[in-house]
């Protein structure tokens, strides 16, 4: 298992800090008890839909559960599965810094967003190289310190910009792109609505591209 402190400082290939896709063993185990619905999917395909095929197989094996008879949406807690299931994968970044943005000033490539009022924006780890789909700019929220804030402007390769309004998150503050709505996180369904991608495509892309770690 990995602690939050270790996750925050997980190095990427360039020696920096990458967004982290956390996969919850507790939720996978709980969901496995709900996932035998009669609709059988290949739950280990595409590296177990981005969750890590070896890890998923080992957890299911410890439960004595045959992966061939499971509904993937329920097993991984995705939209369309059993509503009692909980998301297994969540995507987390961190705040790199903040700056003032004055009325009329634009952010990111092409200035697709200009401030309607004086505000503050945060630069956040996580871009399209880690599965943060470019069409999420100006269309989806993240959670920082328990508050939701809109991604603004175009999503870049490794970072994006978030309008934090009157909040003042410090460097290193945790950012949740999507996760468990019960915990106050933005839901994966918000990404499917904003992008036109289905939930399986999103988690497979995120799990393949972000640093992935197992949590309780």
The model scores a pTM over 0.85: yes
Return the CATH architecture of domain 89-215: Beta Barrel (2.40)
Cα 30 to its chain centre, rounded Å, is 20
pLDDT at 160: 97
Residue-averaged pLDDT of the chain: 91
Give the DSSP per-residue string, 110-128.
GG-EE-SSSEEEEEEE--G
pLDDT at 39: 78
pLDDT at 12: 40
Domain borders along the chain are 89-215
Instruction: Tell me the three state secondary structure of residue 142.
Output: strand
Neighbours of 135 (CB within 10 A): 15
Task: Let me know: does 212 contact 20? Beta carbons within 8 Å.
Answer: yes
pLDDT for 84-116, tens place per residue? 999 999 999 999 999 999 999 999 999 999 999
pLDDT greater at residue 9 or residue 30? 30
Q: Which tokens sit at 194?
A: 């904003």
Task: Let me know: does 163 contact 184? Beta carbons within 8 Å.
Answer: no
Q: Which tokens sit at 137?
A: 């700019």
Region 148-177: what's the mean pLDDT?
97
């Amino acid at each position: 298992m990995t602690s939050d402190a270790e996750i925050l400082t997980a190095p990427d290939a360039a020696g920096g800090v990458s967004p982290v896709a956390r996969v919850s063993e507790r939720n996978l185990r709980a969901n496995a008890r709900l996932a035998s619905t009669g609709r059988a999917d290949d739950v280990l395909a595409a590296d177990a839909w981005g969750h890590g095929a070896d890890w998923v197989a080992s957890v299911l094996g410890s439960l004595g559960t045959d992966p061939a008879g499971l509904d993937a949406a329920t097993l991984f807690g995705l939209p369309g599965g059993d509503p009692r299931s909980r998301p297994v994968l969540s995507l987390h970044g961190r705040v790199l810094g903040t700056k003032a943005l004055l009325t009329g000033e634009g952010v990111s490539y092409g200035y697709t967003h200009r401030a309607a009022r004086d505000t503050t924006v945060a630069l956040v780890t996580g871009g399209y190289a880690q599965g943060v789909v470019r069409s999420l700019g100006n269309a989806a929220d993240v959670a920082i310190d328990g508050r939701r804030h809109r991604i603004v402007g175009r999503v870049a390769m490794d970072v994006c910009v978030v309008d934090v309004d009157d909040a003042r998150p410090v460097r290193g503050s945790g950012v949740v792109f999507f996760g468990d709505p019960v915990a106050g996180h933005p839901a994966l369904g918000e990404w499917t609505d904003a992008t036109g991608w289905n939930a399986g495509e999103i988690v497979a892309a995120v799990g393949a591209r972000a640093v992935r770690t197992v949590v309780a």
